[in-house]
């Protein structure tokens, strides 16, 4: 069996690039030259979370000839630097191969599973329970490039932005739970309904959700009656002037800042909203895995 040949220790120490190294087309290693590249400790965590390929279990398909670590490094390079797919450096696998891996993993739910696994492990390392019981929601509008079709974009009059809006829910550590991308014209309360429905399905222990004043109103009653979620509004008081760090709200605002710090997410270049959600998930996979690698 492959597991007898390549161990977790081999991957963590850098002696093996990944669990599937014996099946790679060639034994050449790519030099670690980019800031977005995974560290050995970071990759040892990610490698264990990626699923076994179907061909390894005798379920058909061709063996993977490209190193999975190089595939993940290429995805991290893309989300961190915001370049075009066809502009991936030549020391990575072909861009079409990297895109096919990203698309296949997303359709199979692997991307969300990896993100959930990283979040659970980091919460345990921080002395928390793996499954959160509270969440914070917020949204942010981002400008859309010309590649974004008119049908999936809109104008946010409040922020004066023509593009899309990211609705996210995070735990109390700022780790991503769910993400939803809509046109920027969608009001926060309208976008919150499908977001909270997804949250209630994905994180069944969550009972309390904090939000800002934009979510006040009938949404509170709807969340309580339909989803059994207590939506608590954190508002600015009248005596607050200038910039003030508001309880709970600063956590999700910090996560939005983490996301926009990656150039692929600083602007929306994706043809479909679901593709932008994928980029947000991979951005948080990179952030969470780096943070977890420092804990182990």
pLDDT in tens, 32-72: 889 999 999 999 999 999 988 877 777 777 777 888 999 99
Q: For the chain, what are the domain ranges?
A: 2-108, 129-270
Say which residue, 242 or 180, is predicted with more confidence: 180
Contact 134, 210 (CB under 8 A): yes
The answer to whether 184 and 273 have CB atoms below 8 angstroms apart is no
Q: In the structure, what pLDDT confidence band is assigned to residue 8 with cuts at 50, 70 and 90?
A: low
pLDDT range class, residue 236, cuts 50, 70, 90: confident
DSSP H or E run through 272: none
Distance CA 29, CA 196 (A): 44
Place of tokens 């939803």: 180
3-class SS at 187?
coil
* pLDDT surpassing 80 at residue 151: yes
Residues 6+ apart with CB under 8 A from 122: 173, 175, 288, 291, 292, 295
- The pLDDT of 69-77, averaged and rounded, is 96
Mean pLDDT confidence for 264-281: 96
Please state which CATH number belongs to domain 129-270. 3.30.420.10
């Amino acid at each position: 069996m492959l597991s007898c040949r390549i161990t977790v220790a081999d991957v963590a120490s850098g002696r093996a690039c990944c669990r599937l190294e014996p099946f790679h087309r060639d034994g050449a290693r790519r030099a670690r030259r980019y800031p977005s590249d995974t560290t050995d400790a970071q990759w040892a965590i990610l490698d264990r979370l990626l699923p076994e390929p179907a061909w390894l279990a005798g379920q058909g398909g061709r063996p993977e000839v490209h190193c999975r670590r190089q595939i993940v490094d290429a995805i991290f390079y893309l989300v961190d630097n915001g370049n075009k797919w066809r502009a991936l450096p030549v020391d990575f696998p072909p861009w079409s191969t990297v895109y096919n891996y990203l698309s296949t993993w997303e359709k199979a739910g692997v991307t969300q599973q990896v993100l959930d696994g990283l979040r659970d492990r980091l919460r345990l390392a921080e002395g928390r329970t793996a499954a959160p019981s509270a969440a914070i929601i917020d949204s942010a509008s981002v400008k859309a490039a010309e590649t974004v079709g008119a049908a999936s974009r809109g104008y946010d009059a409040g922020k004066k932005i023509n593009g899309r809006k990211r609705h996210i829910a995070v735990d109390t550590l700022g780790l991503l739970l769910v993400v939803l991308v809509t046109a920027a014209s969608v009001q926060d309360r309208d976008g919150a309904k499908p977001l909270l429905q997804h949250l209630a399905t994905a994180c069944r222990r969550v009972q309390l959700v904090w939000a800002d004043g934009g979510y006040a109103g009938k949404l509170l009653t709807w969340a309580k009656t339909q989803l059994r979620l207590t939506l608590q509004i954190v508002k600015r008081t009248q005596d607050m002037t200038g910039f003030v760090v508001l309880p709970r709200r600063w956590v999700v605002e910090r996560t939005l800042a983490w996301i926009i710090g990656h150039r692929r997410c600083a602007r929306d270049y994706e043809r479909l909203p679901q593709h932008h959600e994928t980029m947000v998930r991979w951005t948080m996979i990179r952030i969470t895995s780096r943070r977890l690698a420092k804990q182990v």
